C-alpha cells in the first residue's frame, strides 16, 4: 500500500503543466522516430542527453520515457502500412499487419496496435509498481545456460511457424546467422568476416539489417513490378475495431504483455524475442477463422507482438531503476542521463530519490494515455498514406531509410551495406525466400553463440552445465516440444490413415 | 501529404542534431568553432567526457564556439583514422583514453597515436575486483590461491575482450604467476551485463570500473577484493590490490589529442584553452559529480605517459592472446 501512496504523490509531481508538456514532446518525438526507419528511441534519447544540463531531472526523465514508449508504438505504423518496419521490434508486426492493410483493414491493425500498446504499457507499468523485486530476482537468476536454452526455444518456435517451405525458411535463417557473425568476436576479440574494413569490426547494426532487408528490399521489389502489375487498389476500409476484432484482440494483448514484461527485464532479452514468441504462440493457439487467416492478415498476429514490445519497454525499467542495470540500448543511455544528474540508479535510488522515481513511473501512465489519445484518432488518417501513389511513397521510404541509417554512425560504409542488404532483400522476395527468418537469425544467432560459449567457459568445458538449471531444462523441453509436435502429429496422422485403410 | 512533410522536417532536424559533418578545412586554433570528436556512440564515457568538456569550455571561454560530434566504432579507431585525415587542423580535439590504446593493438589499426598531437590527460577512474557476497573468496589471497590451483575453474566477468577490465585481469594473472592466456575471462558488452552474472553468482569474480560496482559493494551485494589505485579510495571501504599482494596498478584514463602536424602556436593555443577549461569551476563540479579523479597533465609529460602506456598495454594484449 505504501507503493500506492507514493505513486499518488508521483502523479502530483508529474501532473504539472511543464511536465505534461515534456511528456507530450516525448511521446510525439518517440512516435516520429519510431515511424522513421533507422532512427530509434536509443539514438533520440542520446541526442537529447545535453538537455540534462538545463532541464530538471523529473522533466527530462518524463520526456525520455515518453520517447521510449512512443518509439515502441510508432514503429508499428510503417510496418503495418508499408511492410517497412521502423524498428526491429516491430518487424513481426509487419507479417500479419501488412497483410491486413492490403485487405483494407489497415485502420483495424493500427487500432489494435495502439490499444494493445496502451493495455500492455499500462499493465506492465502497474507490474513495475508491484512486482519489481520478484522480476529482478528472476532476471538475476538467469544464467548463460538459460539464455542459450531461451535462444533455442525462440529459434524452434519461430522457424516452425514462419515459413511454409522449411528449406526456404532455413536458407533465410542461414543468411541471417552469417550476417550476425560479422564483427569482432566478443569472447576472444578476433575479427570475423570483416574483410579488413574497420567499420565492420563492431558488426552490422540490426537496424541496418532490418531496414535494408525490409524497407529497401520492399521498395526495390515494388519498383521492379511497377510496370508489370496494375496498381493494387487498396481499400482504406472501415475505421475502428468491430466487436469481433475486440473479441479476437484482448487475449493476445494480455499474452503479449505476459511475455514482453519479463523479457524486457532480462539483460539481452530485448524487445524482439518476446515479439517472435508472441507471434508463434498466437499462431499455435489460433482456431477457426483466425487459423485460416494466419498468413493472410490475422489480427491476433498484430495484437500480440505489439503488446509484447511495449510491455518489454516497461520491463526494461525494472532492472534499470532497482539495480542500475541497463538491459537495452535506450536503457543504457537513460542510465547515462541519471549519472549526468549525479544519481546512481540502484538499490538506494528508491530510498534516496522517491519523488523522482515515482514521478517517472506516474509519467509512464500519463505518457501511455497520451499515446493512445494521440494515435487512435490518427489510425484512419495514417491508413490514407496507402493512397499516395506508389512511386512517391517508396522513393520517400528509400530516402528516409538512407537518412536514418546514415544518422546512426555517420559513415558511408553503412549506406553501402544498407543498399547491398536491400538488393539481397529484393532477391529474396524475387525468389520467394521469407525475409523475417534472416533478421531473426541475425538477432538470435550471436546471442545463442555467446551464451553457449559463456556457459561452457564458466563450467570449465563441462556440457552438463547446459542442463544445470531448472529454467534451462524447462526451456529446452519447450523447444523440443515445439520441434517435435508437428512431426509427432504427422506420424500419428499417417498411422491413423494406415489404420483406416487397413480396416477398409 | 501533410504527414510526409512533417516526417521530412523531423528527419532533417534529426540529421542536423546528429551533427555528422565532414569536418572543416584546417584553420588556425585562435578562431573558428572548436570541434570535439567523441570516437564512440552517445552515452558512453568518451561521449560524457566530451560533452562535459563542451559545457565547461562554454563557461571558461564564452567567446569560443564549441561543438561535440560522435564517430563511433571499433574502440575509437574509426575516429582515430578520421582524425589522421585532419592533419594540421588546429580547431579539432578528440577525446580518447586507455581503451583506445588497447583497441589500436587489438584491431591492428593502421593509424596509431604517434600520428596525433597529445594535448592533455584529464581524468582517471580506477578499476575494482569484486566477488558475489556469498562467494567463498573472502580476500584477494583466497582468489589467488584458487586461481593458481586451476585457472579454468575461476571465471572472471568483465567488459569486452582486450578492454580495460580484461587488461586488469591479465596484469593480475601475471602478478600472481598465472599464465594470462589461461585466464577464464568471460567477456560482456559492458559492466552492466557482467553485474547481472555477479549478482546471480554465476561467475567467480568480476572486474569493472569502480563506478559500476561501488553502489553494490556499499549495499553488501558484492564484496570488494581490491581496487587498482595506489592508495585506498576516499569513499569506498576496499583494500588496494597491492595490499592484497598483487603488484597491479592501473587507471582507466581519458584525455584529449589533436591531429598531427600541428604548428607550435596552434598546439599552445589548444593547450591553454584546455588548461583554462580544467581550471574552471564548472569542470571541477562535473569531475566531482561523476566520481572522476582529476589527473591533469599536458605537454611533454602527457606525451611520455602516452608512450609508456602504449608499450605496457601492447605487452599485455599480446600476452592475453586477443590480437586479431
Domain residues of chain A, as ranges? 2-503
B103: nearest CA in chain A? Answer: A189
pLDDT for residue B203: 92
* Record: contact A50-B41, CB cut-off 8 A: no
Q: Which residues contact A114 (CB under 8 A, 6 or more apart)?
A: A73, A371, A372, A375, A376, A379
Asked whether the beta carbons of B226 and B241 are under 8 A apart, the reply is yes
Residue B81 is nearest to which of A190, A198, A385, comparing CB atoms? Answer: A198
Dig out the grid coordinates for B134 from the structure. Answer: 556469498
Q: Are residues B143 and B179 in the same domain?
A: yes
Query: Quick one: pLDDT at residue A141?
Result: 81
- Give the model's pLDDT for residue A420: 95
Indicate which CATH number applies to the domain containing B58. Answer: 3.40.190.150
A237 falls in which pLDDT band (50, 70, 90)? low
> What is the CATH classification number for the domain harbouring B186?
3.40.190.10
Q: Give me the pLDDT at residue B22, please.
A: 37
Q: How far apart are CA B271 and CA B252, in angstroms?
A: 22
The verdict on residue B104 lying in a domain is yes
> Residue B75 falls within a domain, yes or no?
yes
**How many CA atoms, within 13 angstroms, populate the side-chain half-sphere of residue A302?**
37
Question: Helices A2-14 & A57-82, crossing angle to 10 degrees?
Answer: 90
Burial per residue of B184-216, b for 16 or more beta-carbon CB atoms within 10 angstroms, e otherwise: bbbbbebbbbbbbbbbbebbbbbbbbbbbbbbb
Judging by beta carbons within 10 Å of its beta carbon (0-12, 13-18, 19+), is residue B134 exposed, middle or buried?
exposed
Residues 233-262 in A contacting B (C-alpha not used; CB under 8 Å): none
Q: In the structure grid, which three cell numbers stand for residue B234, read together?
A: 576516499
Q: How far apart are the C-alpha atoms of B212 and B224, rounded to whole Å?
A: 12
Q: Which class for B276: exposed (0-12), middle (13-18), buried (19 or more C-beta within 10 A)?
A: middle
Residue B273 in contact with residue B61, Cβ under 8 Å?
A: yes
| Burial class (CB within 10 angstroms; exposed 0-12, middle 13-18, buried 19+) of A188 | middle
E strands, A22-91, in order: none
| Structure confidence by residue, pLDDT tens digits, A357-397 | 888 888 888 888 888 888 888 777 777 777 788 888 888 88
- CB proximity A462 to B under 8 Å: no
- Residue B283 covered by a domain: yes
A249-274: average pLDDT? 84
User: For the residues B145-162, what does the mean pLDDT come to?
Assistant: 89
Residues B98 and B49 reside in one and the same domain: yes
A:B CB pairs within 8 Å: 176
Cα angle for residues A241, A296, A304 (degrees, 5° grid): 55
Q: How far is B78 from chain A (nearest CA, A)?
A: 7
> Considering just the CA atoms, what is the radius of gyration of chain A in Å?
23
pLDDT of residue B23: 38
User: What is the pLDDT, as a whole number, of residue B9?
Assistant: 44
A window 122-151, beta carbon within 8 A of B: 139-144
Only one residue has cell 559492466, namely: B191
Residues A67, A33 contacting (CB under 8 angstroms): yes
* B215 contacts A348? CB cut-off 8 A: yes
Taking CB atoms and an 8 Å limit, are B1 and A388 in contact across chains?
yes
Question: Does any CB of chain B come closer than 8 Å to the CB of residue A224?
Answer: no
Same domain for B272 and B210 = no
Per-residue pLDDT tens for B190-201? 666 788 888 888
* pLDDT greater than 70 at residue B324: no
CA distances from A429 to A96, A218, A376, A422 (A): 17, 8, 32, 11
| Residues of B in Cβ contact (< 8 Å) with A385 | 3
Cβ atoms of B28 and B64 closer than 8 Å: no
CA-to-CA distance for B63 and A383, rounded, in angstroms? 51
Does A125 score more than 80 pLDDT? yes
Cβ–Cβ contact A344 with B under 8 A: yes
- Full residue range of the structural domain in which residue B162 is found: 126-227
Residue B76: which pLDDT band, with cuts at 50, 70 and 90? confident
Under DSSP, the state recorded for A343 is -
Is the Cβ–Cβ distance between A80 and A302 less than 8 Å? yes
Antiparallel, parallel or unpaired: β B34-38 and B66-70: parallel
pLDDT over threshold 90, residue B47: no
- Residues 156-195 of chain A with CB under 8 A from chain B are 184-191
Count of domains for chain B: 2
Q: What average pLDDT does the segment A412-421 reach?
A: 92
For residue B67, give the nearest of B96, B91, B83 by alpha carbon.
B91
Alpha helices of B200-246 — where are they, by DSSP H?
210-218
**β-strand partners of A103:** none
**Mutation site, A74, A81, A201, interface B, largest B CB count within 10 A:** A201
Q: Band the pLDDT of A95: cuts 50, 70, 90.
A: confident
The 10s digit of each residue's pLDDT in B104-152 is 887 777 888 888 888 888 888 899 999 999 999 999 999 999 999 999 8
Cα atoms in the Cβ-side hemisphere of radius 13 Å centred on A60? 23
Res B1 pLDDT > 50: no
Contacts of A475 (CB under 8 A, 6+ apart): A146, A149, A150, A152, A153
Going by DSSP bridges, is the β-strand pair A183-184/B66-70 parallel, antiparallel, or unpaired? unpaired
Rounded Cα–Cα distance for residues A56 and A68 (Å) = 19
Choose the final residue of a domain: B227, B261, B284: B227
**Most confidently modeled range among A423-432, A491-500, B10-19, B38-47:** A423-432
- Asked if A186 and B188 come within 8 Å (Cβ–Cβ), the reply is yes
B264 in any annotated domain:
yes
- pLDDT band at A225, cuts 50/70/90? confident
Contact A388 B4 (CB under 8 A): yes
The predicted structure's pLDDT at residue A160: 67
How would you class A409 by CB atoms within 10 Å of its CB: exposed for 0-12, middle for 13-18, buried for 19 or more?
Answer: buried
B221 belongs to a structural domain:
yes
Residue A164 has pLDDT above 80, yes or no: no
The packing angle between helices B264-279 and B281-290, to 10°, is 70
- The conformational region for residue B253 under phi > 0 = left, psi -120 to 50 = alpha, else beta, is beta
Question: Does A504 have pLDDT greater than 80?
Answer: no
Label residue A204 left, alpha or beta by phi (over 0 means left) and psi (-120 to 50 means alpha): beta
For residues B153 and B189, state if they share a domain.
yes
SS3 content of chain B, % helix, strand, coil (to 5): 45, 20, 30
**pLDDT number for residue A500:** 58
Residue A161: the pLDDT is 66
User: pLDDT (tens digit, 9 = 90+) per residue, A52-71?
Assistant: 777 888 888 888 888 888 88
Q: Give a yes or no: residue B200 inside a domain.
A: yes
B73 and B112 share one domain:
yes
Asked if B268 and B299 sit in the same domain, the reply is: yes
**Which secondary-structure segment (H or E) carries B254?**
strand B251-259
- Tell which of B227, B242, B270 closes a domain: B227
pLDDT in tens, B175-218: 888 888 889 999 887 666 788 888 888 899 999 888 778 878 88
For residue B14, tell me if it sits in a domain.
no
Rounded Cα gap, residues A301 and A79, in angstroms: 13
Query: Which residues of B fall within a CB distance of 8 Å from A188?
Result: 161, 321-322
CA atoms within 13 A on the CB side of A49: 30
Angle, alpha carbons B197-B198-B199 (nearest 5°): 95
pLDDT digits (tens, 9 = 90+) for A277-320: 898 888 888 877 777 787 788 889 899 999 998 888 888 888 78
CB-nearest to A457 from B3, B72, B155 is B155
Taking only the tens place, the pLDDT of each residue in A454-483 is 898 888 888 888 888 888 898 899 888 877
Task: Tell me which of B192, B227, B262 is where a domain ends.
Answer: B227
A240 versus A358: the higher-pLDDT residue is: A358
SS3 A433: coil
Give a yes or no: residue B203 inside a domain: yes
Contact B199 A50 (CB under 8 A): no
Give B133-139 contacts, CB < 8 A, sequence gap 24+: B133/B220, B133/B221, B133/B222, B133/B223, B134/B201, B135/B201, B135/B204, B135/B205, B135/B223, B137/B204, B137/B205, B137/B223, B137/B225, B138/B223, B139/B225, B139/B244
Top-confidence range, A88-102, A233-247, B20-34: A88-102
Give the gap in angstroms from C-alpha B192 to the nearest C-alpha of chain A: 5
| Cβ-contact B22, B95 below 8 angstroms | no
Amino acid at each position: 500500500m505504501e507503493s500506492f501512496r507514493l505513486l499518488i504523490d508521483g502523479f502530483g509531481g508529474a501532473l504539472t503543466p511543464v511536465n505534461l508538456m515534456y511528456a507530450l514532446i516525448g511521446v510525439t518525438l518517440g512516435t516520429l522516430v519510431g515511424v522513421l526507419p533507422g532512427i530509434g528511441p536509443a539514438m533520440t534519447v542520446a541526442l537529447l542527453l545535453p538537455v540534462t544540463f538545463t532541464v530538471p531531472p523529473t522533466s527530462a526523465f518524463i520526456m525520455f520515457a515518453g520517447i521510449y514508449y512512443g518509439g515502441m508504438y510508432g514503429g508499428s505504423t510503417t510496418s503495418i502500412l508499408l511492410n517497412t518496419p521502423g524498428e526491429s521490434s516491430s518487424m513481426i508486426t509487419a507479417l500479419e499487419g501488412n497483410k491486413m492493410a492490403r485487405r483494407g483493414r489497415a485502420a483495424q491493425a493500427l487500432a489494435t496496435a495502439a490499444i494493445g500498446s496502451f493495455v500492455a504499457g499500462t499493465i506492465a507499468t502497474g507490474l513495475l509498481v508491484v512486482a519489481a523485486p520478484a522480476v529482478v530476482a528472476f532476471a538475476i537468476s538467469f544464467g548463460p545456460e538459460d539464455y542459450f536454452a531461451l535462444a533455442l526455444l525462440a529459434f524452434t518456435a519461430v522457424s516452425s511457424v514462419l515459413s511454409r517451405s522449411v528449406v526456404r525458411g532455413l536458407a533465410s535463417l542461414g543468411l541471417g546467422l552469417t550476417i550476425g557473425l560479422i564483427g569482432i568476436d566478443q569472447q576472444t576479440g578476433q575479427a570475423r568476416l570483416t574483410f579488413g574494413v574497420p567499420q565492420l569490426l563492431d558488426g552490422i547494426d540490426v537496424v541496418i539489417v532490418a531496414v535494408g532487408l525490409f524497407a529497401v528490399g520492399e521498395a526495390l521489389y515494388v519498383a521492379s513490378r511497377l510496370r508489370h502489375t496494375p496498381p493494387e487498389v487498396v481499400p482504406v476500409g472501415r475505421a475502428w475495431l468491430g466487436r469481433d476484432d475486440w473479441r479476437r484482440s484482448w487475449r493476445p494483448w494480455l499474452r503479449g504483455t505476459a511475455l514482453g514484461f519479463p523479457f524486457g527485464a532480462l539483460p539481452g532479452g530485448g524487445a524482439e524475442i518476446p515479439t517472435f514468441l508472441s507471434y508463434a504462440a498466437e499462431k499455435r493457439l489460433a482456431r477457426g477463422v483466425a487459423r485460416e487467416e494466419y498468413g493472410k492478415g490475422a489480427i491476433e498476429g498484430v495484437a500480440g507482438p505489439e503488446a509484447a514490445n511495449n510491455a518489454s519497454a516497461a520491463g526494461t525499467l525494472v532492472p534499470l531503476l532497482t539495480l542500475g542495470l541497463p538491459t537495452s540500448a535506450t536503457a543504457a543511455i537513460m542510465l547515462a542521463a541519471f549519472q549526468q544528474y549525479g544519481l546512481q540508479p540502484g538499490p538506494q535510488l528508491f530510498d534516496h530519490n522517491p519523488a523522482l522515481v515515482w514521478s517517472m513511473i506516474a509519467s509512464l501512465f500519463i505518457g501511455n494515455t497520451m499515446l493512445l489519445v494521440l494515435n487512435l484518432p490518427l489510425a484512419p488518417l495514417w491508413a490514407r498514406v496507402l493512397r499516395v501513389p506508389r512511386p512517391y511513397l517508396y522513393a520517400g521510404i528509400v530516402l528516409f531509410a538512407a537518412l536514418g541509417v546514415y544518422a546512426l554512425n555517420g559513415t558511408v560504409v553503412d549506406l553501402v551495406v544498407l543498399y547491398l542488404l536491400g538488393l539481397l532483400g529484393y532477391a529474396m522476395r524475387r525468389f520467394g525466400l521469407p525475409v523475417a527468418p534472416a533478421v531473426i537469425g541475425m538477432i538470435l544467432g550471436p546471442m545463442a553463440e555467446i551464451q553457449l560459449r559463456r556457459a561452457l567457459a564458466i563450467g570449465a568445458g563441462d556440457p552438463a552445465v547446459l542442463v544445470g538449471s531448472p529454467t534451462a531444462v524447462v526451456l529446452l523441453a519447450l523447444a523440443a516440444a515445439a520441434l517435435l509436435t508437428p512431426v509427432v502429429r504427422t506420424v500419428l496422422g499417417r498411422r491413423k490413415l494406415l489404420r483406416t485403410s487397413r480396416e477398409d | 501529404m501533410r504527414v510526409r512533410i512533417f516526417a521530412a522536417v523531423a528527419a532533417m532536424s534529426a540529421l542536423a542534431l546528429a551533427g555528422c559533418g565532414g569536418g572543416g578545412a584546417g584553420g588556425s586554433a585562435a578562431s573558428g568553432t572548436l570541434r570535439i570528436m567523441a570516437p564512440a556512440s552517445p552515452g558512453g564515457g568518451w561521449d560524457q567526457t566530451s560533452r562535459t568538456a563542451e559545457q565547461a569550455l562554454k563557461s571558461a571561454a564564452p567567446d569560443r564556439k564549441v561543438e561535440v560530434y560522435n564517430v563511433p566504432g571499433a574502440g575509437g579507431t574509426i575516429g582515430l583514422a578520421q582524425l589522421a585525415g585532419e592533419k594540421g587542423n588546429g580547431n579539432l580535439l578528440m577525446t580518447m583514453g586507455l581503451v583506445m590504446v588497447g583497441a589500436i593493438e587489438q584491431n591492428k589499426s593502421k593509424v596509431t597515436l604517434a600520428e596525433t598531437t597529445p594535448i592533455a590527460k584529464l581524468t582517471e577512474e580506477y578499476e575494482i575486483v569484486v566477488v558475489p557476497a556469498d562467494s567463498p573468496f573472502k580476500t584477494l589471497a583466497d582468489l589467488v590461491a584458487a586461481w593458481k590451483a586451476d585457472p579454468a575453474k575461476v571465471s572472471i566477468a568483465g567488459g569486452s575482450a582486450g578492454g580495460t577490465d580484461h587488461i586488469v585481469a591479465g596484469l593480475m594473472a601475471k602478478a600472481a604467476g598465472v599464465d594470462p592466456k589461461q585466464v577464464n575471462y568471460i567477456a560482456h558488452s559492458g559492466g552492466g551485463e557482467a553485474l547481472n552474472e555477479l549478482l546471480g553468482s554465476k561467475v567467480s569474480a568480476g572486474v569493472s570500473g569502480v563506478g559500476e560496482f561501488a553502489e553494490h559493494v556499499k549495499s553488501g551485494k558484492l564484496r570488494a577484493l581490491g581496487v587498482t589505485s595506489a592508495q585506498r579510495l576516499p569513499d569506498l571501504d576496499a583494500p588496494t590490490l597491492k595490499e592484497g599482494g598483487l603488484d597491479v596498478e592501473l587507471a582507466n584514463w581519458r584525455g584529449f589529442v589533436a591531429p598531427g602536424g600541428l604548428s607550435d602556436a596552434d598546439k599552445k593555443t589548444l593547450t591553454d584553452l584546455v588548461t583554462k577549461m580544467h581550471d574552471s569551476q564548472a569542470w571541477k563540479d562535473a569531475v566531482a559529480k561523476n566520481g572522476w579523479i582529476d589527473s591533469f597533465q599536458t605537454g611533454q609529460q602527457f606525451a611520455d605517459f602516452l608512450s609508456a602506456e602504449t608499450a605496457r598495454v601492447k605487452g599485455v594484449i599480446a600476452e592475453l592472446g586477443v590480437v586479431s
